Amino acid sequence: MRNPFNYLQFAKGDQFHDRREILSDLRSRFLSGQTNVVLYGPRRYGKSSLVTELAELLEKDGFICISFDMVKMATLKLFAEAYATKIYHRLAPIRSGVRQVADFFKNLRPKISIGADGNASFSFDSATSEMGPEELSELLDLPQRLSGGKRILIVMDEFQEVEALLPNCGFERVMRSVIQNHMNVSYVFLGSRYHLLRRMFTDHGRPFYKSALTMLLDKPPVEESEAFVISRFESAGLSISQEAAHLLVAKIANIPYYIQQLGFEVFRFADEAGHREASCADVEAAYARLSGFNKDQYEQAMLSFSKNQKKILIALARETTGEFDAKYRSRHDLGASSTVNSAKKKLLEDGYIEQSGGICQISDPFFAEYLRN
């Protein structure tokens, strides 16, 4: 029996969990005119799946949507090559007469090669690693210059990583100056290190301050998550009790990615056992199975933490909190407030802990289970 849950790829169609309201809102905003959006929130909350679903809808509306993963572009040279190649692939065909690189590159001089599939790819010599503002401006202006009047959506995942491409907010400063003049191109910025990303757009000293609509993607309502679980089981010919669906969502703190992962395992467990209805016992068994999968990874992670970071993680595994007040710090032997705040900040930025609904907790529920045991 085909498993109705999907956690290894972006969820699409009926596997897409919730977010219909925000999806409709974003689609309406982009259709009504130029909009730039920052979508931030903790890891595993479904940001990438949401944007993938949005891009598919907008493509049907006539947009051309192009996505970039900034994690894969560790240097300005790698970024320039990937950006030029993908933009040219998607947009040059709609611009009649665009045949020569010289038509749209003036300061940059890329090398062009044609692959076996007939597609062009661009490369730059090592001097591009010292690309200046003029060259970067030319590169970032390509979507507008090649748009041919078409509406374009550029998605930049892990956008906070651009800080490393040019020092002193150089990349942000150039990009802000370029995209503010784009009439046919809209942008979506998202990233997993959401505290860094949010600061880029809300700190009044940063170039991107108030340049885009910032939207928090928080957890979906518990009732909708439970209804989603029940509907996915029913779609594949099995059922799950209301109590078991509630337990499944509660076990993994109502985090969309882990709903898909635990749902997949519960469905597999019940199906292999020949159960017509998944029960709370099936949820407990599947959860126990998953909890042991990443033990080696968690042990390695613990070796990288400072003593104070470890103490905070163990405390949060035992007791989530809204405030690290004196009573909480005393119960868990955490020390002074300044010490806790410093360690907490680093854990937040690296994504090991998160704050949702005013509560601070460990991002990965299976890591929390490992720490409790």
Taking alpha carbons only, the member of 184, 178, 161, 168 closest to residue 82 is 161
pLDDT digits (tens, 9 = 90+) for 317-369: 999 998 899 999 999 999 999 999 999 999 998 889 988 778 899 999 999 99
Model confidence at 138, in pLDDT bands (50, 70, 90)?
A: confident
Taking alpha carbons only, the member of 194, 192, 230, 262 closest to residue 7 is 262
Domains of the chain, residue spans: 19-216, 222-291, 295-372
User: Could you check whether 222-291 and 295-372 share the same CATH topology?
Assistant: no
Query: In 3-state terms, what secondary structure has residue 284?
Result: helix
Say which residues have a Cβ less than 8 Å from residue 174's Cβ, sequence separation at least 6.
133, 136, 137, 140, 166
Taking alpha carbons only, the member of 347, 346, 319, 351 closest to residue 332 is 319
Buried b (16+ CB within 10 A) or exposed e, 53-79: bbbebbeeeebbbbebebeebeebbeb
Burial of 33 (0-12, 13-18, 19+ CB in 10 A): exposed
CATH, domain 295-372, list 1.10.3720.10, 3.40.50.1220, 1.10.300.10, 1.10.10.10: 1.10.10.10
How is domain 19-216 classified at the CATH fold level?
Answer: Rossmann fold (3.40.50)
pLDDT digits (tens, 9 = 90+) for 170-206: 899 999 999 999 999 999 999 888 788 888 999 999 9
pTM across the whole model: 0.81
pLDDT digits (tens, 9 = 90+) for 49-71: 889 999 999 999 999 999 999 98
Taking alpha carbons only, the member of 341, 339, 337 closest to residue 327 is 337
pLDDT at 89: 83
Answer yes or no: are the C-beta atoms of 39 and 49 closer than 8 Å: no
CATH, domain 222-291, list 3.30.70.100, 1.10.3720.10, 3.10.105.10, 1.10.8.60: 1.10.8.60
Taking alpha carbons only, the member of 130, 134, 121, 133 closest to residue 169 is 133
pLDDT digits (tens, 9 = 90+) for 271-286: 998 999 999 999 999 9
Backbone φ, ψ for residue 184 (5° rounding): -110, 0
- What value, to the nearest 5°, has the Cα angle with vertex 190 and ends 206 and 363? 105
pLDDT digits (tens, 9 = 90+) for 15-40: 566 677 888 999 999 999 878 999 98
Which amino acid makes up residue 57?
L
